Amino acid sequence: MIIFRLSRFMLASERSRINRSARIKYEKQSGDTYEVLPQAVEFSRYIQENIHYDKAWEAKINDFFRNK
């Protein structure tokens, strides 16, 4: 299940292994992870640029996903 592979709280997760290896060595990652991580980065940037604790945050998030 992808949720467990991407957990930052589980030391054996794929995400934890990739983080531990950052700038040290290359790590093989699953196709799911390869697909999800760039989307997570894009979503994070979108949130940082567009959400400023206003009441319209839900509409902005829905717009983001609707355009995918």
- Kindly report, residue by residue over 49-58, the tens digit of the pLDDT: 876 666 677 7
Measured in degrees and rounded to the nearest 5, phi and psi for residue 51 equal: -110, 115
Domains of the chain, by residue range, sit at 2-66
pTM: 0.48
In order of 35, 55, 56, the CA distances from 27 in angstroms are: 15, 41, 39
Higher pLDDT, 25 or 4: 25
Taking the C-alpha atoms of residue 61 and residue 43, their distance in angstroms, rounded to an integer, is: 9
Taking the C-alpha atoms of residue 62 and residue 60, their distance in angstroms, rounded to an integer, is: 5
Query: Does residue 38 have a pLDDT over 80?
Result: yes
